Each structure stands twice: as C-alpha cells, then as structure tokens.
Structure 1
Amino acid sequence: MDGTDPSRRTVVVTGGTRGVGAGIAEAFVRTGARVVACARRPPEVPAPGCEFVPVDLRDTVAVHELFAGLDRLDVLVNNAGGTPYGLLGERDAERHARVIELNLTVPLTASLAARHHLAAARGSIVMIGSVSGARPSPGTAAYGAAKAGLDSLARTMAVEWAPEIRVNTLVLGMVRTELSALHYGDEEGIAAVGATVPLGRLAEPREIGEAAVFLASDAAAYITGSSLLVHGGGERPAFLDAATVNKEA
C-alpha cells in the first residue's frame, strides 16, 4: 500500500467495515487521518475517505503481510470480533474456541504484527472490549471469557511495551448497529432494551468512534493500561425493582 501525506497519521481498524468498526473508522477519517479498514468482506457502503483492505484476520501470515505493507502506523484499533448467541451446552468446544480466537487471539496477532511500526511512531493500540467480560454472559460465554482476557492482555501489553506504545481498552455496553434487530427485535424491542440503560438508550457507533479517537490522541498521552467504560451508566441492578421497601421514603 502506498503512503500519502507523510504528516498524516495512519490508523488501522480491524473489522472496520460495518457497525461499531465503521463508526470508529469514520471518526478517525474526520480527524484527517489516513484510515485503513480491514475485514474479510468489503463494506456494502464504502465510507468516504476510508481505504479497504481484504484480509482474513485469523490468517497470521496475511495479517503480518498487511502491516508489512504499510509505510507507517500510528494507531491500531482491534475492533474485529463478535459472536452468535448460543448456550454453552448447545455448541461443541471447537465452536467456542473459534469465538475465543476471533475475540482474543486475533487482537494479539494484529498487535504483535503492528508493534514495530507503532513503536517507531510512539503510537497506541485501542482494544474494543465489552461489559460481557466483567459479568456473567449467558448465551455468549466464550465471548465474555475472551473479552475478559482481552482486558488483561491490554493491561500487560501496556506495561511491557511502554513507553513507546500506549495500550487501552474501550469497554462497550450495548450499541445500536445494523444488527441490533437480531439481538433485540423490532424498534419497540430496541427502545425497551435502551430504557434499561441509565442514559435511556443504546450507544451510537459514532460515539464509540469519538471515544477511540480520544484514547489515541495527545489528550490521552498519559493514559495507558486503562479501561474506559462506554456503557451509558451500565445496567440498573434488578434488585432495585424487586425490593419491597417504601420507594417514596
């Protein structure tokens, strides 16, 4: 891949072609950065100003070739991930292992492949984590386990790779994307789920993007090994609604 303006930052967003990843890529484009989104399939609607590079992120050789082809790299956003719903006993160990691979091993592989460029630029890595990594996640157990591991990985990476590379994690709650209907149902269902969040709604991908831009910016120059919760206040504890105490007292 040919470089452009040498003064521009180069940002790679894995899984940056839709949903949260697209929101992150577009946020960095707005900063004037050169943004490279990589995924297995091209976006249905290409984001203006964002380059697309096809790559299977589970293919270690292909991942190393991707980063070797860059002239520079200032920011890596490890966003690729996700999982279908399925209780532990409904799937075999191999299926669960693939979820862990995508959500934990892939970010590690990409970070290792990007390390040389990032160190030269004194750049940063932003991991995209999830509240599922800090609470029980029935139906997405392997995903939650992987995200818990990702947070731990980021903290250790931040210590080992300092001071050249900063490493932080965005811990996401529920985000409204084109796949929201698969998880929450129709508009009424999405609104009902959003109402369980203290801020009263799901996050928008652009808001996740702005948080990622902050963590990668000079404004966060002394922030590393941290986890930034972007979850609208989290989840209202169920016991508050179940309690029988006088709620008007």
Structure 2
Amino acid sequence: MSSGKRRGFGIDFGGTGIKGAPVDLVEGEFAAERVRIKTPASSTPENVAEVFAELLAEFPDVDGPIGVTVPGVVRHGIVRSAANIDDAWIGADADTLFTRALKRPVHAVNDADAAGLAEVHYGAAKGQRGLVIVTTLGTGIGTAFVYDGMLLPNTELGHIEVDGHEAEARMSNRVREEKELSWKHWAKRLTTYYQTLERLFSPDLFLVGGGVSKDFEEFGPLIEVDTELRPATLLNKAGVIGAALYASEHA
C-alpha cells in the first residue's frame, strides 16, 4: 500500500480469539496479514489488555490510534454490559485501560457496531442511503444501526422480547446449532424477528452478518419481510476493519 493512503489498526476481541491487523482505510482491506491470539481463559480487562499488547508487538511500524471491539455496550469508552464476557468488564474504562497498555490512543466500540460501520462503508451496504440495520447472527444476536453512514451505537436488539422470549435465546445461530434446527425452521423464527424490527424501525435495508452469512442462500430467501435483505460480505474481517475506521473517526 502506498504511503499516501490512510492506515488504521483494528483489534477484534471475541470469546475464543483476539484478531488484529493494520487496515487500508481507503479500500477497507487488511494492509498486512492478520494475527490471531487465543482469548485467555480468564478474559478480564487486564488479561485482555496484555494480549492486545502482545498482538500489537507483531506490528512494530504501526502508529496512530487503535480501534478495539468489545462484545458489550460501550458508552464513551466505558463498558456497560457483559452478556458473554467476564463480569469484570462492567464499568471498566476500556479507552483509558487500553491506551495505557498500548501506549497510544485507543477507542473501544461495540463489536456489532464495528461490523456495521465496515459493511456500510466498504461492504454489502456501501453507498446505501437511509437506515441500514446490520444483524450479526452468532453466539447471540448483535445489531448496528447506520443512517446515511452515521452510526447510532449500542442498539443491542438481540435482547428485545419477541413472542415472549428474548430474541437471541430462540433465534441466534448458536440456538440453531444446539437445537439442530433445519434452515426452514430457523428462517421461520428469523422471519418473526425481522418483521418485528421492520414494524418498529422501517429500515431501508437489513444486512445479515456473522459467520453463518456464508450460508445465506440456505435460509435468507426463506425469511419473509418487505425490506430488502442482503448477506454481509466482509465476514470475519468486519470487526477489525470497523474498529480501525471507528478509531480514525474519533482520533
């Protein structure tokens, strides 16, 4: 990549792995090969910060702000929820902790929000006007709202009640796998979920992300909604790319 192009650096913190790479912020692509380190068994903020520092050491030429994803609500750099991570994250000032650990400015963002930013700026929703609702179907259900390219953070609509149940408790990809649901049965559940979001928010586009989006043709056409529904395209790159973009916008 030529020196005239903008670069950033993103780190995607997940339950099993922590991934990072420099990012070409013009093209929305990795500027070097991604590095992945296993998430520590005790994934407290301090232990994760040590892994971040280890990962960043693999890229000695990187400077500038770092973006990191956190699987929880992040408000002004402070983590407010921890549905699938260590409870020690609740109330942690992630921006300050990671800035000290990495010795450069760090900006934390919800993981689904990072994926949403990446998809709208570089992926399946590039150039889309109006409201895009990005959903990540995985262990839970993450959501991101992006309106005309601007992020409305921390929507967390995997936790809304649908038919008397928390949505992700019946409709996540983990539930599909654990219950061995057929694509058709799962799509019926997802129809109820997306129709609920449709009634509440009248989006211009739904994007379906998460690892299962690679199988979109198996279930996507079976979901009955009026709003256009597309699979995300950046897959497991979205978190890193979106985190780097978020940090550049908040530097």
Q: The TM-score by the shorter chain falls in which range?
A: 0.3 to 0.5
The normalised TM-score by structure 1 is: 0.40
Q: Which structure has the higher relative contact order (CA within 8 Å, separation 6+)?
A: 2
Structure with greater proportional helix content: 1
Structure with greater proportional strand content: 2
* Structure whose CA Rg is larger: 1
